[in-house]
Amino acid sequence: MRYLCLLLCVWALLSGCASEIGDDCSYDADCSPNMDRQCDRGQPGGYCLVIGCGPDECPKESVCIEFTTPCPEAPEGVDGGVYEDCELITPNRGRTYCLKHCKKNSDCRKKYQCVEANSLYGTIIDFDSNRSRVCVPRIDE
């Protein structure tokens, strides 16, 4: 009976833990029972992340990355219009996310790879500048 009680206590503790950033998911609740993490179902197998972070605000296994979608240059001879207003209308420009930090591909889940944030038009905004790589879906899958 004592072992059964011990097993039940361990199971209860483990089942109440939040998933880590970068883990697979189907629903937001899979990432955190507190709903402070979201499930990006658009990624292979889902991807637990935090939307809207600041420097050093992400869980320990992740980094805060700001995506800056590049604006197209106006063709020669074209003035004004959408090209001048690009920074105001480009979706996701300046959005921040906590993504799983990695050093090599094996740190990421299957179907994911470890890449430099700047190759994604992203910048790590954490103060620890030694963490510059994140897990993202493989492009060759």
Q: Has residue 74 been placed in a domain?
A: no
Is residue 111 in a domain?
yes
- What amino acid occupies position 38? Q
In a domain, 81, yes or no: no
Cα dihedral 110/64/60/56 (nearest 10): 170
Query: Cβ–Cβ contacts within 10 Å for residue 139, how many?
Result: 7
In a domain, 124, yes or no: yes
DSSP assignment string, 72-115: PPPPTT--SGGGTTHHHH-TTTTEEEEEEB-SSGGGSPTTEEEE
Residue 39 lies inside a defined structural domain of this protein: yes
Q: Which domain holds residue 23?
A: 18-69+90-137
- Domain count for the chain: 1
Higher pLDDT, 72 or 104: 104
Determine the average pLDDT of the residues in 126-134. 85
For residue 77, being part of any structural domain is answered with no
Query: 34-84 pLDDT, tens per residue?
Result: 989 999 999 999 999 999 999 999 999 999 999 876 666 666 655 555 555
